[in-house]
Every structure is written in structure tokens, then in C-alpha cells.
Chains A and B, each alone.
Chain A
Amino acid sequence: MDLTKQDILDLMESFDKSSMSKFHYSNEKESLDFERGTVQLPPLFADQTGSDPGAPAAGASASAPVNGKVASEKAAQGTEAENDAGREPEAAGQVQLKAPLAGVFYRSSKPDEPPYVKEGQKVKKGDTVGLIEAMKMMNEISAPCSGTVTKVCAGNGSFVQYGAPVMNIKEEA
């Protein structure tokens, strides 16, 4: 028999309510699979708009979510930083440089020096684009790819969390 859209929705609902972890159906023309997902830790660059960071997670569900989406939303709430890093969603072809360590971000090597990079500037993969300092320990951070810096997300002298957006680079050969 062919599955109608309603059949599939009904099956999904029954699966969700059941204690099954996997479901498989197939005929000559099509097959349908459901699998219960584990709580995934989503990447830190969540592009959902988060809600109040102070609010506790909405009532934890007793069963694992079917596709891990619930976990992503909770993490977005948790990830919403007190940080002033930009929340630009990634556009196609953009690579986001995320802070490889936590600390204070500096755009130039010294206060009176010009910044390593400006928005609109071209960089090569591996170029130093900034510094992150933690308790006088300086770390150079480098461009993850070659291209043009489209946006510097982290403010000069601001604290960046591990994984926070630092800058967006439009990847170009």
C-alpha cells in the first residue's frame, strides 16, 4: 500500500508516543525510517535567536527528542552569551572564525598599532588576524581560510568566550 501524508504523520505520532527506538517500513516504491535521536550538543554558532539567558530551560522532556531539535533550542538558550559578540547568521560562502580559546580579544598587536585586519580586507589562510589574551598570556589567532573579512564580530578589548564569533570571512581562492 502507498503511504499518504496523513499515514506518515500518524505513524510519526505513534512512534513518538511509543518506546520504540527505531522503525522501518518499505515497499517496492518507497521506504520510511524513524530513529530516536540522542541529545546532540549543537555547534556553538547557533543561529537561532535565543531567549533570556537567565531563564531556566523549558520543562525537560521525559523522552529523548526524535530529531535532536529540542536539544538545539535549549543549547541556544544556554549559549546566549553576556558577550557583545555579533550574532550575524552565516551567509553562504562565509566562514566564521570562532574563538579557539577564551580571553580578551585584541585587534592589534599593541594599543597604538593599527589593527591586523579591517573589514573589507583580504587575508590568506593562516594570517594573524587578532590576539586573545588571558592573564598576560598572548595567543595569536589566524584566518581559517583565504578571502575577505566581511565582519569583525568581537569588540576590541572585549572578553570572548571559547567558540564565540570573532570574525566572518567570505571564502575566496
Chain B
Amino acid sequence: MRYDNLSVMETIIGEGGSSDKASIALSTSKNRRIPNQRMPERSPQSMYAAKQLHAKGSRQLRSLRSTYNCVGMVFANRRTFIEPEQIPIILQDDEYTEVVKEDDLMPGDVVLYEDPQTGDIQHVGLVLASEVMFQTKKIRVLSQFGRDGEYIHDLHDVPNLYGKTVVKFYSESRKAT
């Protein structure tokens, strides 16, 4: 009894760390561990409700899985849940640079949705396409909506829960000059 509770405490304190059995080995390119936790799958009924709620507008459903979040989709190959607070560390260690001009965007670049007041990262996705149609720039993004499934959507067509956000783009790509 006594030890069981201590085990719980150790899990609490090291949550998401190397001692947490629910996490996987994941590091930045500078070998800093990225805390993470694998999540259980939600029931088909629950995912169906999510689909009913989100599959509208420009959104095209890609997948209905709930075992990872948007950060896990972009930075961990859809294998685990990573808190958005880890993103700045990943971007820094993996030497991402901000793409300031939308004209320079390439498929595969990362898009961050930030709260303009707090700076908190509300959502993250991957740029799928960036093209000009009828003199209008159209950017399509692939992202996992929380644990509610993956969607391909227009850049600004994200759920209201993320609030008013500013978008920032980052790229790890290197080009010969």
C-alpha cells in the first residue's frame, strides 16, 4: 500500500519523462528529451460525435484517431501526445527558422497558431499547399484538431476553441545558395 502510493507519486513527478511507462523515447536533434505521453483511443461513438462537430466548411477529414495531438502529429509521427509548451524547444534545437513572407512557404513547413495576448501556442499544423488562385493566396493546412481527428483545411478555418490567433510559419529546410 505504502509503496504503491509512492509509485504513483513518482509517476506524477516524472510525468511524461523517461520513467513514465506511457511515454516513448523522443528527443530533439540536440538530444534533449521531449516529454510525451501515449493516449488511449477514444470510442468510435465519441469520434463520430467529433466528426459531426468539425467536418464542415473547407475541412476535409483525413483520419479519426485520438492517440496523439497536433504537436504529436507534426513532431512525433502521430505516435504520442506532446504539450504545446515543448514546441519552442523543438524549433530551437531542430534549427527551424521563421518564414516571414508567405511567398516563401513550401509544403511541409510548420504553421503555429498563437494567442496574440499570451503567446500561448493554441494549435500547430503542416502546410500542404500554398498557391495563388484568382489573385488570392490560398494556403491549405493538414492538422490534428486536438484529439478529434486530422483535417485538411484552409489556413484560417480552424475551430473557434482556438480563439483569435496569429499564424507564424517555420521551416527546417535548407537550400543551396
Asked if chains A and B come from one complex, the reply is no
